[in-house]
A and B are shown apart, each in its own frame.
Chain A
Amino acid sequence: DTGVSQNPRHKITKRGQNVTFRCDPISEHNRLYWYRQTLGQGPEFLTYFQNEAQLEKSRLLSDRFSAERPKGSFSTLEIQRTEQGDSAMYLCASSLYLGQGIFYEQYFGPGTRLTVT
C-alpha cells in the first residue's frame, strides 16, 4: 500500500472557476477526512465520510463546496465559483474506525495546494 494519495498536487485557477480534487485513501480504511490548511496555520476540519456516507460537515464548508465518496473508495472535493479566500492546502486523511469510540491513526495525504488568482 502506498498510503493516501491526492491529485493534483497543485492547482492554479482563476476566480470564478470550478475545481475538483481527488483523494485515494488507504484501501482498507473506512473513514475519510478533508481538512483545509492556510499558510502558517493548523489544518481545519471540513467534512468526513464513513464508507460512502458523509456524516458531518463543518460550517467552513459553504454551499460552494461539495464532497463525495462514491462506493466508499476515493473521494472528490469540488469548489464551485472559486474565490481568492479559497486559496489553501486541502488535505485528505483516512483511518480505520471499528466503533465504540476506538480510533486508529489518521494517515494524511500530501495535499492539494490551491491558488486562486
Chain B
Amino acid sequence: AQKVTQAQTEISVVEKEDVTLDCVYETRDTTYYLFWYKQPPSGELVFLIRRNSFDEQNEISGRYSWNFQKSTSSFNFTITASQVVDSAVYFCALSPFDYKLSFGAGTTVTVRA
C-alpha cells in the first residue's frame, strides 16, 4: 500500500520568507514516482515536479527547490522568497507503476503581504 504524509496542515508566512513543505512516503515498490502539485483557489491541480525513485538529485526551478532523500523516504519542497501568488494548497503524491496517484492531505500555504 502507498501512503503519503504531509506533516504540516497549514503554514502562514510573510512575503519574502522561505517556506519548506515536508513530505514523507511509504511504499514497497522499488520503482515509483513522486510528484508535487499546487492547487490554487480556482481548483485545478497544477503540476510542479516529477521525480523517479532512481533520481535523487535535488532540483531547483526558479524560487522552487526539491530535496529527495530516499534513505528517509522524504521529498521536501522549499519556496524561497515567497510571494502572495504562492498562496495555495500544495500536494505531494506518490505513484507506483499502475497510474494510481496517492496524494498526501495537502499543506495550505498562506503568504501575507
Partners in one complex: no
A residues with CB within 8 A of B? none
